[in-house]
Amino acid sequence: MSVVKQLYQLQEVDLELESNERMISQITRQLGDNQAVIEARSKLAREQQRLDDLKRQQRSVEVEVTDLTSKLTAAEKELYSGKIHNPKELTNLQHEIDGLKVKRQHLEDSVLEIMDGVEVSTRNTATLSSGLKVQETEWQSRQQILSASLEQHKTVVSNLKHKRELLIAEIDIKLFEVYSELKKQKGIAVARVEQGVCRACRISLSVSELQQVRGGHPVRCSSCGRILFLA
């Protein structure tokens, strides 16, 4: 195997290694990321708090209605008991009864309004709770898939690193240093030659360059400086 082919194979390994390491980085960032679930839980908690507040309001107003009804019943009983003969006292008691009835009506209207709110909030809570369960299930499933994928990529990276070490051991150190510097500068250190053209810079090679490349010698493109490889 020519040294140029070894360099090309090394580059293929390096590119695949970089790709897998990028994937590992992306997966690692996604693992544990449950922002959507957190937001869904927060929304459910807010709606549940709203529902609890409405129920407390309902109970409080219902107690007031009960108290007013007791007072109203007592006042009406007194009014019709026949024990009060003073016209002014009777008029005042009637006004008190009328006032209690108006106040009770307002409270009963409030109860109905609050009950409507409780009904809406109860439906919203059920919907949000159901949606949260779906999101949690999907998140857990996604985490399992990501974890499995992460392990696969780690295995591939480990194998590639081993393969890379074996290739480097067969390559002249100075040529490897040239390769490393070119890869650092240009991303691609070894360029394929197809139909007499450097595929990296799209420049046609001279006859002399092409002959050297065909001979399997390490030749650098006179245009882009990359090492040329003829498959």
Q: Judge if 17 and 36 occupy the same domain.
A: no
CB distance 10 to 167 below 8 Å: yes
164: in domain: no
- Helix (H, G, I), strand (E, B), or coil: what is residue 51? helix
pLDDT of residue 1: 59
Q: Judge if 74 and 127 occupy the same domain.
A: yes
Q: The tokens of 203 are what?
A: 């420049």
Which residue among 158, 184, 217 closes a domain?
A: 158
Averages of pLDDT over each 10 residues, the chain, 231 residues: 90 97 94 90 97 97 95 90 85 92 95 97 97 94 95 97 96 94 95 94 91 88 94 80
Q: Judge if 176 and 193 occupy the same domain.
A: yes
pLDDT of residue 32: 85
Domain of 40: which CATH number? 1.10.287.1490
Question: Which structural domain, as residue segments, surrounds residue 201?
Answer: 1-29+172-231
Total tally of structural domains belonging to the chain: 2
Phi and psi, residue 188, nearest 5°: -115, 120
23: in domain: yes
Given phi > 0 = left and psi -120 to 50 = alpha, else beta, which region is 191? beta
Q: Judge if 135 and 205 occupy the same domain.
A: no
Inter-CA distances, 195 with 6, 119, 153, 160, 229, Å: 21, 76, 36, 31, 12
